[in-house]
Amino acid sequence: MKSQRKEIISYFRQMDRSFFMDSNKELAIFDHALPIGFEQTISQPSLVLEMTLALDPQPEQKVLELGTGSGFQTALLAAFSGSVYTIERIEELQNRAKERLGQLGFQNIQFKLGDGSEGWYEQAPFDRIMVTAAASEVPKELLEQMNKGGKMVIPVGSSFSQELRLIEKDNNGKLHTTLLNEVLFVPLKGKYEK
C-alpha cells in the first residue's frame, strides 16, 4: 500500500475550514479548536491533519468515523478512502454535515445517528477507525470491528489529560499501540464516558 501523505497534505491545504462552520468563520484560519454548538468543537486543523496522516487511509478501504461533528474530518477521510461510515449523536450537527458534504459532491459517505462508542456492527469490519472524541478507555467493540492490518486513531484519557494513540492490528490479530501526542478532545458520550 502506497502512502497518500503528499496528496493528503496538498488537499488539506486547499480545504476551506470556514465552509464547515456556521459562526465565527473569520476565526477559521487559526490553528485552534473552535465551538460549533452543542458543546462540540471543530478540531484544531493541524491535529486533523496529523490524525489523518497517522490513520493512512487508502482508496479501497472502509473507514469508520466516530463523531461527524462539522464534517471537516469526514471530508478529508472521504477524499482518500473507498467509503466512510460516520456516526454522530447530535441530529442537527449530522444534518448540517450531511448537507455540506453533499454540496462538496461526496457520494461515498454513509451516516448514522446514535452512540458511536460501540461502533457500527452491521457495517464491520473496518480497515481504518477514526475517533474524534476522547474515550476513558479504548472501546473493545472498536477493536473487534477492526480488520487485521487495520489502524485506529483515538484520544484516550480523562477530560483533563488525554493521549492520542495509534492502534494497529497485525495480520495475526495482535494489537500494537503508539503514543502520538498529548491532546484535549471533547468526551466520547455513551458507554465509555466517565
Cβ atoms of residues 142 and 123 within 8 Å = no
Using DSSP's 3-state secondary structure scheme, residue 141 falls into helix
Cβ distance 73 to 46 under 8 Å?
no
Pairing of strands 83-88, 175-183: unpaired
158 in catalytic set: no
| C-beta separation of 179 from 155 below 8 A | no
What Cα–Cα distance (Å) separates residue 177 from each residue in 52, 81, 165, 187?
Answer: 16, 23, 7, 21
**Cα-flanking dihedrals φ and ψ of residue 30, to 5°?**
-85, 150
Active-site residue, from 3, 10, 18, 43? 43
Give the span between the Cα atoms of 54 and 184, in whole angstroms: 17
Residues annotated as catalytic (active site), given as ranges:
43
